[in-house]
Amino acid sequence: MNVRRLIPTTAVAGAVVLGLTALSACSTSDAADGGNGDKLKVTASFYPMQFLAERIGGEHVAVTSLTKPGVEPHDLELTPRQIGSISESDYVLYLKGIQPAVDDAIQQSGVKNTVDAATLTTLENHGAEVSGHDHGHEGEEEHADEHGHEEEAHEEHSEGDGHNHGEEGGADPHIWLDPVKYAEVAKGVGKSLEKADPDHAADYKKNTEALVGELNKLNTAYETGLKNTATKTFITTHSAFGYLAERYGLTQQGIAGIDPEAEPTPARIQEIHTIAEKEKATTVFFETLASDRTAKTLAKDTGLKTGVLDPLEGITEKSQGADYIEVMESNLTALQKALGAK
C-alpha cells in the first residue's frame, strides 16, 4: 500500500516537482510531442497502476503516483497540488473503487486519456468460501465498507482495509493479485497508451508484449508450484487474495473481515482453529504494511505459524522484492511453504 517506485524515492520526489514544472509549458497537450522530446505525463493512482504505466510506457513516459511510500491507498487524501497535477496530466491510470478521493478528482479533472483498470478485465464478487467472510460473525458487519459506493463508510472505517472484498452489492477490486487478470489489464493499458501517444505506439506494443510474457510465466509458476499441496487453505489477516485463490484452486480464510488490523473475536479465533485443524492449515499470513498483532494473537491461540503474504498495494523497504514480479514470486514461495507443496 505504500508506493516506492522502481527508482529511488528521492528521485521520484524530484520527478514530481519537475513534472509539475514542465506541465505549465504544455498542459494543453493531449499527448507527448515527439518533436521536442517531451514525455507523456502519466498519473497513476497507486503502485499496481504505476508498475504497469512504467513498464509499458518505458522511456516515453514520466509517471507520477498519487500514493506515496508509507500511505495506504484507500486512506489517501489528495493535496490541492496533487489535484492540480491530475488535471494537467496527459494520461491517468487508476482503479475505480479503491480510492474515493482519487475517483472524485479524476471525474472532475477533464483529462481526455483516463483509464479505469477495472474496465479492462472482469471483476467478481468473492463470497465466504474464497474471501473468508462469514457475515454472521460478530463485529464484521460494522466493517462492511462498500468501497466505492459509500464514501461516508470509507471515512468511517479509514483505519481498516476499506476495500470491498466480495460483500453483497460490490466487486472485489484486487485484480492485480491474479497474474492472468493483471495481464488482461496490461493489454488494455498498452492499447490505450498507443492511442494517447501514437508516435510511440510500436514501443508501447513491444513493452506490453514483454510484460504480458512475464506475467504468463508468473502464472505458470503459480500453477505448477501450487498444483500438489498438502492443504489448499490459507489464513490471512487481509482478505485480498480472492482472485488468486480462485485462479489456483485455493481457499482463503480471512480472520476479521476486511480490516487487516482488527482484533478477531473469540468465536472467530475458535472457528479459525477448527478450520485449521480440519484443513491442515499451518500458517497465519499478515502483510508487511500492517501490524502483525492480529496474526501473532491468532497464532499463539491456535498453535499456527506466522508468515508474510503481500497484497502488493505498495512497495517499501520491508517488501520481499523490488517490484511486482519479485514480490509475487516471494508470495508464491510463502504459499508453497505454508500449503506444503510437494
Set of cell numbers at residue 126: 468473492
| Per-residue model confidence (pLDDT) at position 311 | 92
Across the chain, which has 342 residues, the per-10-residue mean pLDDT values are: 37 39 37 57 97 98 91 86 95 94 94 96 71 34 34 32 44 94 98 97 98 98 97 90 96 71 74 90 84 79 88 90 96 97 92
Dist. CA 26–CA 42, nearest whole Å = 13
R_g of the chain computed on alpha carbons: 20
Burial class from Cβ neighbours inside 10 Å (0-12, 13-18, 19+) for residue 24 reads exposed
**Per-residue pLDDT, 49:** 98
Euclidean distance between CA atoms 316 and 322, whole angstroms: 8
Give pTM, 2 decimals: 0.77
Burial of 137 from C-beta contacts in 10 A (0-12 / 13-18 / 19+): middle
CA-CA distances (angstroms) from residue 205 to 107, 148, 212, 327?
A: 28, 32, 11, 25
SS3 215: helix
What is the pLDDT, as a whole number, of residue 131?
Answer: 36
User: 257 in the Ramachandran plot: left (φ > 0), alpha (ψ -120 to 50) or beta?
Assistant: left
Give the pLDDT of residue 322: 93
Closest to 329 in 3D by CA, of 209, 217, 174, 183: 217
Q: In whole angstroms, what separates CA 130 from the centre of its chain?
A: 18
User: Distance between CA 57 and CA 97 in Å, rounded?
Assistant: 24
Question: Burial, 65: exposed, middle or buried (Cβ in 10 Å; 0-12, 13-18, 19+)?
Answer: buried
- Return the pLDDT at 69: 74
3-state secondary structure of 297: helix
> How many Cα atoms are found within 13 Å in the side-chain-facing hemisphere of 242?
26
pLDDT at 32 (0 to 100): 42
First-last CA distance in the chain: 32
CA 163/CA 153 separation, integer angstroms: 11
Half-sphere exposure of 126 (CA within 13 A, CB side): 30
